[in-house]
Amino acid sequence: MSGGRPVRLRVFSLNCWGIRYLSQHCAQRYEMIGDLLCREEHDLALLQEVWSEKDYLFLKKKLAGSHPHSHYFKSGVIGSGLAVFSRHKLHDAFLYRFSLNGYPYMLHHGDWFGGKAVGMVILKVFGLTAHIYVTHLHAEYCREKDGYLPHRVVQAWELQHFVRHTSSGADVVILGGDLNMHPQDLGNRLIRAYTGLRDCYTETDKFDGCDDGITLIADNPFTNKKELIPFEKGIRIDYILFKGSKKVGVKCESLSTTKGSVPEKAFPYSDHEALSAELLLQPTEGAGEGEGGSDSCSADTLPELVDTVTEARTEVKVGLHLAERMRHTAARTGMMGLVLLLLELAIAAVPWLALGAEQPFPRASFYLLGALCFAILLTTLLLYVFYTTQVKTLQGAEDQMRLAVGSLQDALRGLPRGQQGEPTRTTPDLHRPTPLDHEE
């Protein structure tokens, strides 16, 4: 940015839906995605659900000319699915894995097996230090009975913490990815309020894309229409967020999305639509517009932030209550299995104590019942450990939010009386039903 002239930065984000052997037309779609990125030559491409390292290596080879610098974030059983491709040299990379990410026994959802996380790369663009984040949060699946809401709220809480604490020295901050949240959902409000990040869709001067910026559209042939109920056209869950600094102001000049099937192709790039944003970086004097966050929020935003964190804390308590119940259920079931095993051993000891007595039931049945008892004990032990870990994590998040609310309320009390405002949102019902309520 020599001479103080403004420069433009083009950013691309796409959930690739790249589950090998399960996602439809996976190899062909990666070929199409690679062709698109080679043709458009974005400065940055932030990709999610690149679940196979072989697919990442394919893209790396294909994009060697247009995006010579890249990083693949490895995490979990099948990986984080996160990858960054850049025209500019990457100087550092770091991955933070979310502490909560669904349930291992929900095999048909599979989120637990992917190490959902936020990846960060640091690079120099036009002489500026840019901190770039790519992330993918837990899916919703059912709007009416969202048993994963506490997990996604904790992920959003950890995401905003990670961004705030790692972006302090950045001139430009960009976050892209599939947040799996509607624009006004709790986690989304939490991220934007704390970090000061701004949404390209609401800030852009020019938009060319699907109606209302939706990125999971009903017309996409790969979309499960049941997951979009009651949203007939689709939902907006993919985002590019940005902010500047005291040194640089950032403005979104244009934002576009793909619109379903690719011209001259029989199917689209993915089950999600891709986002392309053109950001204008302008040298500025004084405090930049992107410095938001809990430590520097204005008097006007403090009451809203208090309400948002309080609401988040309530949702975490809901998840904590549920995890404690499931842990108790696992413990009770394990005790039943132990009692059954002891009873069987007592019956097996009868022939030894009473000489000449016959075995009360066939040996095959004895071994089968013993195997069942051991299976119950092992399964319930693993579940007890799993839910204990969840309880500890949720308790930790709730403690952090309690401290944050106290700090924000202290700041609010320090304001003149006319600026303190009133609560604007009600907190959710602690006893709202969830899918797991019926699993006990």
Residue 134 in contact with residue 48, Cβ under 8 Å?
A: yes
Residue 73's identity, in one-letter code, is: F
DSSP 376-432: HHHHHHHHHHHHHHHHHHHHHHHHHHHHHHHHHHHHHHTS-GGGS-----PPPPTT-
Residue 135 in contact with residue 49, Cβ under 8 Å?
A: no
List, in order, residues 6 or more apart from 422 with CB less than 8 Å away.
303
Residue 70 CA to chain centroid, in angstroms? Answer: 21
Whether the bond into 283 is cis, omega within 30 of 0: no
Q: Which residues pair with 250 in a beta bridge?
A: 281
Distances 313 to 147, 394, 430 between C-alpha atoms, Å: 16, 10, 11
Residue 303's identity, in one-letter code, is: P
Distances 302 to 168, 308, 419, 424 between C-alpha atoms, Å: 21, 10, 9, 11
How far is the C-alpha of 9 from the C-alpha of 200, rounded, in Å?
13
272 tagged catalytic = yes
How far is the C-alpha of 140 from the C-alpha of 216, rounded, in Å?
13
From the candidates 161, 165, 272, 321, give the one annotated as an active-site residue.
272
Residue 141's identity, in one-letter code, is: Y
Residue 90's identity, in one-letter code, is: L
How far is the C-alpha of 118 from the C-alpha of 380, rounded, in Å?
31
Residue entry with tokens 């103080």: 4
- How many CB atoms are located within 10 Å of the residue 94 CB? 14
Residue 284's identity, in one-letter code, is: T
Residue entry with tokens 């839910």: 387
Three-point CA angle 93, 98, 104, nearest 5°:
130
Residue 179's identity, in one-letter code, is: L
Residue 290, token pair as written in the block? 């992107």
Residue 265: DSSP 8-state: S
Residue 144, token pair as written in the block? 């009416």
Q: Are strands 234-235 and 216-217 parallel, antiparallel or unpaired?
A: antiparallel
Could you give phi then psi for residue 98, rounded to 5 degrees? Answer: -65, 145
Residue 103, token pair as written in the block? 């349930």
- Point out the residues that are catalytic: 272
